[in-house]
Amino acid sequence: MAVHASREKWPDMMKNEAGAMRWTPAAVGVTGMAEDDLSDRTQAADAESLFGTAPVESPTGPTGTTSSTSSSGISSSGISSSGISSSTWDGPSRPGTGDTSVTAVGTAPRPGLRLQHYELIRELGSGGMGTVYLARDVRLGRRVAIKFLHSEDADITRRFILEARATARCSHENIVIIYEVGELGGSPFMVLEFLQGQPLNKVLGKQRLPAARAVELMVPVVKALACAHEQGIVHRDLKPENIVVTDSGAIKVLDFGIAKVLQGNEPPEAAPAPVTGAQPRLHSVEGMGEDVSNLTRKGAIMGTMAFMSPEQWGIGVPIDNRTDIWAVGLMLFRMLAGKHPLDPLRGPQLMVTGMLDEPMPKLRTMAPDVPQELAAVVDRCLLKRKEERFPDAASLLRALEPFLPGRFSRELRVDESPYAGLSSFQEADADRFFGRTREIAALVNRINDRPLLAVVGPSGTGKSSFVRAGLVPVLKRSGIAWEALVIRPGRNPLSALASIVAPLLSSSTTIEDDLQEQQRLVERLHAEPGYVGNVLRSRARHERRRILLFVDQFEELYTLVPDARERLAFTACLSGIADDATSPIRVILSIRSDFLDRVPEDERFMAELGQGLYFLTAPHREGLRDALVQPAERAGYQFESPAMVDSMLEHLDATQGALPLLQFAATQLWEARDTTNRLLTQSAYEAMGGIAGALASHADSVLESLSPQERTLVRALFLRLVTPERTRAIVSLDELRELTKDTGEMQRLIDHLVQARLLVVQTGSGATGATVEIVHESLLHSWPMLRRWLDEGQEDSAFLEQLRNAARQWQGKNLDPHLLWRGELVEEAQRFQRRYRGELPQSQQDFLAAVFAQAKKGKRLKRALLVGSATFLGLLVVAAVVALVVIRNAQQEAERQAQAAQESEIIARAAAASAQSAETEAKQRLAEVQAKELERQKAQQAAEEANAQVALANQELLSKNDELGSALERAQEAQLRARFAKKRAEESAESEREAREEAIRAAQKLSTLLAREKERVQRLQSQLGSPVIEVLK
């Protein structure tokens, strides 16, 4: 069938690229329609640009009109996935002026404009009818979206504002919030919440959804419709593009009331026209071409062809809230069958088929696996005569709720509790897991794009239950084959990884072979951290499925694994598993928020994990209400009064670990239920002490039922099951049995506490034996007795943890003596032994005994070395004394020689003085002789005649000469003796100097010997306890 349109007859008809249509009724005829894709016949509500992830594009068509593209983020009637959209806006603007104010009709606002307390940040998208901006509310400090709508028709502007204000009165968690409506320069505008997420059509893609998931997504939409219908507002353009799944998992319905305002029908407050029951038909459709999809005059029919009800085609049948029921039915049909019921019809073919009195295809003809009851609900929504559909959204909601997840699963056994108590929910408990619908949807949306995710939250928020009983079942119901693998790091994280890989590779038939294979795998993982990822990817591709590896309680990697190299090897393996979004493998961790700061020790792992953090907060009040009420209702029971439920929820406000406490209290209530009236009663609630006292009372009652000796063992047992950081510790059953000599008694006590739901035993596999742990961490905070024990034994707790690790390493290294404690640790162990009154496991007793034995042996050796050193030092002292005596004698001899030299020098000086005096006297006498000789010569000259006298004078002269010669010889001899004495004194001084130098050299040699011996003694003392001492022994 071909379509022909008369341009002269339809001067006002326009079609936008997405197919939203508005027109004024006129004489038209239909002869055909182009085969546009059905999904392209709706105005795109692509959220990317409104979320700030795509640029704005507004290409200009050949006629000069502006058309929205799929990246504009604009929907057909006013609200997009950011909270705002636009239709078409052909009004003038003032490009290039830079004006940031709106002063005339059609003038476009600019970024930077201050509108009351809103400041425009940037344009998100635009269309012919208006422009959407991201803005900031400078008063409340939040981001908003502002949509400016242009219209020169005062009546349309007035009605737009009136109905937008009416929509703003629809306060509902599933309806986009309109903060404000106003007018600026003749252009009306709306201020709406800025949403971050994806429109439903992007979430769905082309896949079919499981029945429970489809209903889970649609029930919030129906709740929003019920609220709007109560306000007299009909959506009339409901489609997947106008439904947003936010990043937090919330469902938001957009575009309420805008299409109806633009049509110009009765205002929202008017009652719908009576139904005539006439067959819907079009009076004349000749000449209607492709331009029928976008007419903008007052009185136009608006909608999106693929989701328009028969009465929306302008045939005179009043539109009411049952039009929205039709759209809900179409969306459910598309989700459950994977396609539109009229596919492959397009455009006006849909219109003609919709108005003919022919029934719509039944859902089970295209999706026979859909439950028959649910298919009947969908088929009823798609009845052509609106009076045969559900009368209102509330009725449709009641019909859909039984098909929500968990509502049509297996039946409980007669005495089976619908509550999990203090235990974590497992995958098998999915049918009784409630209160996390929004959070599950949020994580499901993220898992496609992120290979590595972490569910982060404080203790008691239900992280493990959220993944095991919430996320995993939803993934397995998604229509894609998923396999879930669950591990906990424990004390040997690589062994935990090897335990999931070994069954995929091993062909061994004995436990011993399994253990050997697992050990080889651990060694390989140290060398090849990417090996696990290769194995899992190969399995996923071979089995044609996706694999989810859930690492539960990831904080154990930091509380139970002291070796940093072991931790880094484990995180390297996880990085190798979750390496790319295109991989069929996903890794999800659950980790307590107070341990998140430990993750950056592996920078690469933290960089990858940082993009996939999902913070799971405590359930909100409505989530807690669902978790409390719905399991009981599923089992056919009711709470005695709504006030009782409110009272229980009020006691949980701002309570740490609210969810497990609620589950435990509900379990206690269930055990005391009134089976006759099928009620959970107020009297039973009061008898158990309410929420606050339920857990503590139960633990105290269990403790009181034990004997004093058993209570002492319970104290030691619980202290062993708590780490120094006050988290749960996983301890092997064998180690706990060693706390008492009677292992059977400890086993009976553990079994009793497990039966009382205070402890849980995990059966080991492979190389791992059975382990024991406290049933839930909330017990650490809510049981006063345990808190008192922990406070009293805080010092011992830290030491015991250190002792456990040291003993384990010592035994693992074949009792290596180098791993035994020394020094201050020995002293601390001795102090601990004196004050501790509890029992220690045999392995730890053996370790301490070896430590003390080594310390005792070291003390004996130290004493022996000290005695030997003292003897040697005594001998060294004697030798030093002897050397000192020798040196002293040498010094005394040198001093004597020096004194003798000094005396000789004095004598020599005296002799020299005597010789000098004799010489002087001789010279004087010689002078006298010479004077007398002169006188004689004169006398001889004067008296020649006295010859006798002359002879006598000569005789006397000769005699004097002899005496003078003798005196001269004596003087010469004295001078020789003085020289000899001086020479002897010089030789004595030289001897003294040599003696002094010899004494100095002897003293230096002695000092060197003393220093060397002192160093040797110090080395011997410092080597006490080392392998050197073993050699000395």
CA 975, CA 367: separation in Å to the nearest integer?
Answer: 148
Instruction: List, as one string, the DSSP characters of 45-109.
Output: ---TGGGTSS-----B-TTS-B---TTS---TTS--TTS-----------TTS---S--STTPPP
Torsion of CA 986, 988, 994, 1000, to 10 degrees: -120
Which residue spans within 708-863 are E strands per DSSP?
Answer: 731-732, 759-762, 771-774
Q: Is the pTM of this model over 0.85?
A: no
- The position carrying tokens 């007419």 is 295
Q: What pLDDT, on a 0 to 100 scale, did the predictor assign at position 733?
A: 84
Q: What pLDDT, on a 0 to 100 scale, did the predictor assign at position 354?
A: 64
Mean pLDDT of the chain: 76
Q: Which of 11-20, 179-188, 293-302, 578-587 has the lowest mean pLDDT?
A: 11-20
What are 551-603's pLDDT values in tens digits? 999 999 998 898 999 999 999 999 999 888 889 999 999 998 888 889 999 99
CA 136, CA 145: separation in Å to the nearest integer?
Answer: 8
Residue 767: pLDDT band (50, 70, 90) is very low
- Token pair, residue 143, equals 């981001």
Return all residues near 1004 (Cβ < 8 A) that are at least 6 apart: none
Cβ(193)–Cβ(145) under 8 Å?
Answer: yes
What are 35-57's pLDDT values in tens digits? 333 333 333 333 333 333 333 44
Q: What pLDDT, on a 0 to 100 scale, did the predictor assign at position 257?
A: 52
Cβ(852)–Cβ(830) under 8 Å?
Answer: yes
Residue ranges of the annotated binding site for ATP are 147
Answer whether the bond into residue 341 is a cis peptide, omega within 30°. Answer: no
Q: Which of 266-275, 543-552, 723-732 has the lowest mean pLDDT?
A: 266-275
- Token pair, residue 982, equals 């001086």
CA 159, CA 1020: separation in Å to the nearest integer?
Answer: 100
Phi, psi of 36 (to 5 degrees): -75, 150
What are 485-511's pLDDT values in tens digits? 999 998 899 999 998 888 887 666 566
Q: What pLDDT, on a 0 to 100 scale, did the predictor assign at position 139?
A: 92
Q: Which of 12-16, 102-106, 275-279, 787-791 has the lowest mean pLDDT?
A: 12-16
CA 147, CA 84: separation in Å to the nearest integer?
Answer: 6
CB neighbour class for 790 (10 Å; exposed up to 12, middle 13-18, buried from 19): middle
Which residue spans within 724-839 are E strands per DSSP?
Answer: 731-732, 759-762, 771-774
Cβ(663)–Cβ(421) under 8 Å?
Answer: yes
Q: What pLDDT, on a 0 to 100 scale, did the predictor assign at position 559?
A: 85
What are 649-706's pLDDT values in tens digits? 887 776 666 777 788 889 889 988 998 999 999 998 888 877 766 777 888 889 999 9
Most confident of 24-28, 325-329, 810-814, 960-964: 325-329
Above 80 in pLDDT, residue 466? yes
Q: Determine how many CB atoms are found less than 10 A away from the CB of residue 316.
A: 13
Q: What pLDDT, on a 0 to 100 scale, did the predictor assign at position 271?
A: 38
Looking at residues 859-887, what average pLDDT do you find?
76
Q: Which of 171-175, 195-199, 666-670, 855-859 has the lowest mean pLDDT?
A: 855-859
Q: What pLDDT, on a 0 to 100 scale, did the predictor assign at position 877?
A: 80
Q: Clarify whether 237 is annotated catalytic.
A: yes
Residue ranges of the annotated binding site are 147
Q: What pLDDT, on a 0 to 100 scale, did the predictor assign at position 588?
A: 97
Residue 537: pLDDT band (50, 70, 90) is very high
Partnered with residue 126 across adjacent β-strands are 131
- The position carrying tokens 């005699």 is 959
Above 80 in pLDDT, residue 175? yes
Above 60 in pLDDT, residue 79? no
CA 402, CA 392: separation in Å to the nearest integer?
Answer: 17
What's the Cα-to-Cα distance from 113 to each of 78, 181, 763, rounded to whole Å? 21, 17, 66
Instruction: Check residues 708 and 1026 and name the one with the higher pLDDT.
Output: 708
Q: Which of 293-297, 331-335, 657-661, 848-852 has the lowest mean pLDDT?
A: 293-297
Above 70 in pLDDT, residue 303? no
Could you say which of 46, 137, 237, 602 is catalytic?
237
- Token pair, residue 51, equals 């979320």
What are 715-757's pLDDT values in tens digits? 888 888 888 778 888 888 888 887 777 777 888 898 888 877 7
CA 881, CA 54: separation in Å to the nearest integer?
Answer: 95
Q: What pLDDT, on a 0 to 100 scale, did the predictor assign at position 353?
A: 67
CB neighbour class for 105 (10 Å; exposed up to 12, middle 13-18, buried from 19): middle
Residue 76: pLDDT band (50, 70, 90) is very low
Residue 409: pLDDT band (50, 70, 90) is low
